[in-house]
Structure 1
Amino acid sequence: MKYAITLLLSLMPLLASAAEVGERLTPFTLLDQHDQAYSLNEQTRVLLVARNMDGAKLVQAAVGEQPKGYLEARDAVFVADIQRMPALISKLFAIPAMRDYSYRVVLDRDGKVVARYPGAEDKVLWIQLEQGVVAGQKEYASAEALATALKELPQP
């Protein structure tokens, strides 16, 4: 029983930080693959979150062939958790390869931002925002479904 209480108390910060409908997301600032700072703002309508390489590959398959600025035109931003990637691999290979992408990849190098938004490891979490407040969430397991959802997203 003592261990169960300890476990529950240790998980409370994670549960409390989950993105719930009606909750205002805590602003963050992270660097992208070009070392440019991105700050979550009230204009962002969709936050795409990938926890690992599988999720990032889904985003790449969904938007990789789209023209530069495709996500930005939809007020969408993609955040990738790269904390588990070895530093040497990310610095020498992964991040330089990302610089060729036609879209911005906001990099969560220590996993603190992505950890706020729980979900399946191998899926892409879609957080719908209205002026910084969570309006809904979905998870995508296929690039086709994600690409369709992005196409259907009205452009401002």
Structure 2
Amino acid sequence: MKYAIALLLSLSPLMAQAVEVGERLAPWTLLDQYDQAYSLNDQTRTLLVARNMDGAKLVKAALADRPKGYLEARQTVFVADIQRMPALISRLFAIPAMRDYSYRVLLDREGSVATRYAGAEDKVLWLQLDKGQVVSQREFATAEELRQALEQN
């Protein structure tokens, strides 16, 4: 029984479905670091997804020294998957620290959104959207590559 559970848990990342170009993303709503709700909408042009702390650090480094509203001006939203972070740590330390960021972080506390989009754990997934449909998909492994892509967006 233990082996079956371990196998199921090890395969769960593979259950995320790859998003195909032309596919319309299913709607979702998440709270940000200020507990303000945001719903994916047709005005969103770029969706950034970080599945772990390494990905979130890439986004943070790419946005260092960028003014408040930088992502919003580019119609870009950032989703951070924090489901594996212990609730006490997130509530007492991580989320309060995120309130100092110059950008909005949509917090996927239960892994209900980030897991919809397949990709490497240690990279940032970039989904380019047009009225909710996926136009292209990329992944970034460095903050500099992500920064350059955001500048061109």
Q: TM-score, normalised by structure 2?
A: 0.90
Shift of 1:112: 1.2
Query: Equivalent residues in 2 for 1:21-100 (5 A)?
Result: 21-100=21-100
How many aligned residue pairs are there?
144
- For the residues of structure 2 that align with 1:152 and 1:18, how far apart are their CA atoms? 25
Unpaired stretches in structure 1, ≥5 consecutive residues? none
Secondary structure class of the residue paired with 1:139? strand
Secondary structure class of the residue paired with 1:150? helix
Shift of 1:121: 0.5
Deviation string 1:44-68 (CA, Å, 9 cap, x unpaired) is: 0000000000000000000132000
Secondary structure class of the residue paired with 1:126? strand
Q: Tell me the equivalent position of 1:14.
A: 15
RMSD value over aligned CA atoms? 1.7
- Show structure 1 runs of 4+ deviating over 4 A: none
Partners of 1:64 and 1:101 within 8 A in 2: no
- For the residues of structure 2 that align with 1:22 and 1:118, how far apart are their CA atoms? 16
- For the residues of structure 2 that align with 1:45 and 1:132, how far apart are their CA atoms? 8
Q: Tell me the equivalent position of 1:109.
A: 109
- For the residues of structure 1 that align with 2:99 and 2:64, how far apart are their CA atoms? 12
Shift of 1:134: 0.3
- For the residues of structure 2 that align with 1:129 and 1:77, how far apart are their CA atoms? 11
Unpaired stretches in structure 2, ≥5 consecutive residues? none
Deviation string 1:79-113 (CA, Å, 9 cap, x unpaired) is: 00000000000000000000000000000000011
Q: TM-score, normalised by structure 1?
A: 0.88
- For the residues of structure 2 that align with 1:22 and 1:150, how far apart are their CA atoms? 22
- For the residues of structure 2 that align with 1:21 and 1:135, how far apart are their CA atoms? 5
- For the residues of structure 2 that align with 1:118 and 1:112, how far apart are their CA atoms? 13
Shift of 1:19: 1.4
